[in-house]
Chains A and B, each alone.
Chain A
Amino acid sequence: MRLAAVAAIIAATGAAFVAASPATAEGPKDPLNSVLWDYVHEQILEGAPVVFDDRVQVFAPMVVEDGRLVPVSVRADGIPGVTQILVFADLNPIPRAVLLEPLKVEPYVALRMKVNEGTAIRAAVRTLDGLWHLGGTVVAAPGGGCAAPRLTAGDADWEDHLGEVRGRAWTTADGGERLRILVRHPMDTGLVDGIPEFFVERITVTDGGGAEIARMQVWSAMSTDPVLTLELPPAAAGQGGFTVQARDSDANEFAGTIPAPATTMPPVSLQEVMR
């Protein structure tokens, strides 16, 4: 090939690349330096205005050995008017894990998700003005969490327990309540040969007084047998138990009733080793 032709191809490719880049160069710089930040900003947050906000605290281990189970907790104390919390991983083939509408619950959610490789894990917290407040952390992981056989792949009886709901509530040290929900479900990603996508996609929680306190959209990037933890502020606590309603991608519906808390969590001191 002649040099001139090579140069022409390079020029053409370069031009196409520049043209395809999203116009976010003037936006705030990603503190996690993720190679896909511009892409996820455009694709997942639809290019909406964002601010990186230290009040959005995302905790996850620095390193995991099994990408099928990465614990993540998000706390956005001190941000008024939170309408949505979206948890996602930049480098996942299925980036989103959960979208929480915290109707009466605190701007807090804890979950366990899959990562397909080491990645930034972020929480995007949307406020009434439409602004996304972002926090995140980076997890190192071996490859394969989304494309590996599910954690319960060896269990012969998973089908008998499909949709079983487990749960419990605790009174927190400040007089609020913590609620943990587990739904037995394979959460198949569709990325393992011969196993179609099959996952819980919606969970709603109602308190003992009949008021909806949280709505969640869930994706198959959640770990098998998805676990979610929510917290109620003291002002919204004490309404009796909770009702959980879930629906999966095959339109199966599941429900459970969690009794009011019987025990109080002692306060705990945590070591600042995660950030």
Chain B
Amino acid sequence: MTRAAFALGLALLVPAPTAAAQDLTYALAPMAVALDTYVVEGRTEFFDRRNGGNIVNTAFIVTDAGVVVVDDGPSRRYGEELRAAIARVTDKPVVKVFVTHLHPDHFLGGQAFADVPVAATAATRAGIAAEGMAVTENLYRLSGDWMRGTEPMEPTETIAEGEQVVEIGGHRLRLLPLQGHTDSDLVLLDETTGVLFASDLVFHDRAPTFPHADAAEWLAALDRLAALDVAVVVPGHGPVARDGGPIAQTRDYVQWLDQALRTAADEGREITEVIRMPIPERFAGMALVRDELARSVLTLYPALARAALPVVGN
């Protein structure tokens, strides 16, 4: 993004949109990706007042025992529209929501599922309890009126540690509590259909984000995902794929970024230089890659630069 384009973006933000709140709609369109399985693909953009935070993929499985939802979106309004979209697909009740991790675009639709058990790992529950209000306030700042009435809802069920298989209405769901994008990232593999709900451990044609990330843990988690037998990959952000391409793409980027930042720190580069470093051509097609590189450098690089400085006195 050029500075001029950024300034234009700010100019567009300053006058609040005049549309009344009731006119806002995400127009969610669930897309069938496998037997009983639907994905609502978000835009590969950053949060803003036009997309209302609809930048995330959510999904649901229509089982014999009812509907299982994977992530409930970035706002109360999104959660309500997701529930209405599910009701247009099936008259079965929603019986379970899984929240994959603590980032606000994945759990702030929770108010629309307040009557349903919402499951997450202990770390994700604790993270939402601690940071939920702060991340919600941040989304009010970024998404504006779309957020009206949204409050963070802490998940109500804790998923046990370690890999496990649960059966719901004829679907065998393997739960993989991993980490790396955040301290706790829950991946679900529907072994009945081969659909992998990869959480934000996997991005596709959209640059990965690092605000709570640990590169080494992230790479280890991607190795685990690459070893699974999958037919469809649902990334946290970006288009659904019929192969493991998004897993390999995310792994390539995380590994490149981690190595590039370590090399830069050892070579004595300044943060302002690292933000401007060339990005390999193979990542040029990723949405927001230059902007996300800057965000990632600001998050990750200060600690690496400090580690490259020996103690020389006190």
Contacts and interface: CB of A to CB of B under 8 A. Distances in A.
Interface in A227-256: 227, 229, 244, 254-256
Interface of A: 59-66, 69, 71-73, 110, 112, 140, 142, 161, 163-168, 170, 178, 180, 182, 184, 225, 227, 229, 244, 254-259, 263, 265-266, 268-275
Contacts of A225: 306
Interface stretch (B26-34, B148-156, B270-278): B270-278
B276 A273 contact: yes
Q: Sort A-B residue pairs by CB-CB distance and give the 8 closest, nearest first.
A: A256-B313, A71-B271, A256-B312, A166-B309, A170-B268, A59-B272, A270-B276, A73-B272
Given A73-B272, A110-B270, A168-B268, A65 B311 contact: no
B298 interface: yes
Given A65-B295, A180-B309, A257-B312, A274 B1 contact: no
B308 A168 contact: yes
Interface of B: 1-3, 6, 10, 138, 141, 211, 266-273, 275-279, 290, 294-295, 298, 302, 305-306, 308-314
B65 to A, nearest CB: 42
Contacts, number: 117
A168 B309 contact: yes
A254 B312 CA distance: 11
B130 to A, nearest CB: 12
A257 B313 CA distance: 7
A182 B308 CA distance: 11
A273 B310 contact: no
Contacts of B266: 263
Nearest to A256: B313
A182 B309 contact: yes
Contact of B276 (A182, A184, A271): A271
A112 B271 contact: yes
Contact of A170 (B141, B211, B267, B275): B267
Given A71-B270, A72-B272, A178-B268, 10 more contacts: A110-B270, A165-B313, A166-B309, A167-B309, A168-B268, A244-B312, A254-B314, A256-B312, A263-B267, A271-B277
A275 B3 contact: yes
Contact of A73 (B211, B273, B305): B273
B268 A265 contact: yes
Contacts of B2: 273
Contacts of B267: 170, 263, 265-266, 268
